[in-house]
Structure 1
């Protein structure tokens, strides 16, 4: 069986909580989960509805296999810096197991002192597309030019945060404006999830990026 090719168009599904049958989202284009090797990398969070990232920069999330590479369980590492550039890198570590009833969804639990914290998140869309020819970012080599990978994730409300949406790029410098604008437009057209549309319309903002990342 050939490996699933990343979508080249931006298509999003609604979060499962808004669907009567989460395993069969009512979209014209059926949702396909991203292959684990494609997802498992370090992503830059370029846009978010979360207020906690307003005072942060260079927010990145790394997904790695937890112990067994063939398992869908991930090791999750979130890293970020203060927006004023002072101090070191803050981090949050967790382990996440796949949700058996929803494709491309995981249930996260923190490590160490954060073991009491848990959350649920889902991939709403993902893909890969050519970078604009005028861009100067270091994209991924592909036939015909360079590409950028993108993903949109939704997270359910917890004791500490309301539900929200993040937009990811596999490039440290973030997404091209064209791709970011198209993703936000698609989020605002999620008719099955009016609460998500409202969140995006009121709260989506760019997350500050100031290269190079601190290590």
Structure 2
């Protein structure tokens, strides 16, 4: 057996669309089936998650249009027990495959944002990295998702972070300096 046989396969990422870097031909778009279900946000650069815990996002394909996703974000404050939620609909962005335009539901109907999957894989039950464009309310940011409530192993998290650092965009690299662990009970 050679050393290359024993090496861990490289994770495949793409740059966020705002970077205007060439597409990574090795990156394939995640299916709606892959995104469907509940994800635990384990790491983020978004300041709003510093004061929250147990952040999870559930994507459910709409019955009348399975390419669109019902998007429910649930979280708790660091000290409170009340479960808070933000609800919206994700519509696939036709210009940049694998990205979505979010529109709030109810009183949040005036709010919108753009997000995209920049990395994902089946390891440890499933993981994904999403990039969120800047909005009126939040800066641009990155979230790391895990299917497992307990999050990802340190080894897989390190591989993910190493691959993100390979993206040749200075603004993206600067953003990654602010990544932190999101608290979970």
Which of these residues, 176, 181, 188, is aligned with residue 158 of structure 2?
181
Tell me the TM-score normalized by structure 2.
0.91
**2 CA distance for matches of 1:119 and 1:65?**
18
Structure 2: how far apart are the matches of 1:82 and 1:71? 32
Does the alignment pair 1:14 with 2:8?
no
Q: Tell me by how many angstroms 1:83 deviates.
A: 1.3
Q: In the TM superposition, what are the counterparts of 1:37-186 in structure 2 within 5 Å? A: 37-68=33-64, 71-84=66-79, 86-129=80-123, 147-186=124-163
1:190-209 maps to which residues of 2 (within 5 A)?
190-191=167-168, 193-201=169-177, 203-209=178-184
The runs of 4+ residues in structure 1 deviating greater than 3 Å are none
TM-score (norm 1): 0.79
Whole-Å separation in 1 of the counterparts to 2:147 and 2:110: 30
Displacement of 1:18: 1.3
Give the Cα–Cα distance (whole angstroms) in 2 for the partners of residues 45 and 64 of structure 1: 17
Shift of 1:148: 2.6
State the alpha-carbon separation in 1 of the partners of residues 58 and 96 from structure 2: 21
Question: Is 2:41–2:182's contact at 8 Å kept on the other side of the alignment?
Answer: yes
Q: Is the CA contact 2:12–2:26 (under 8 Å) kept in the aligned structure 1?
A: no
Question: 2: distance between equivalents of 1:102 and 1:87?
Answer: 38
Where do 5+ consecutive residues of structure 1 fail to align? 1-7, 130-146, 211-215
**Corresponding position of 1:132:** none
Distance apart, 1:9 and its partner CA: 3.9
SS in 2 for 1:14: coil
Q: For 1:152 and 1:63, how far apart are their aligned partners in 2?
A: 15
Cα RMSD after superposing both structures: 1.4
Aligned length: 177
CA distance in 2, matches of 1:77, 1:32: 25
Displacement of 1:127 in angstroms is 0.4
Shift of 1:30: 2.1
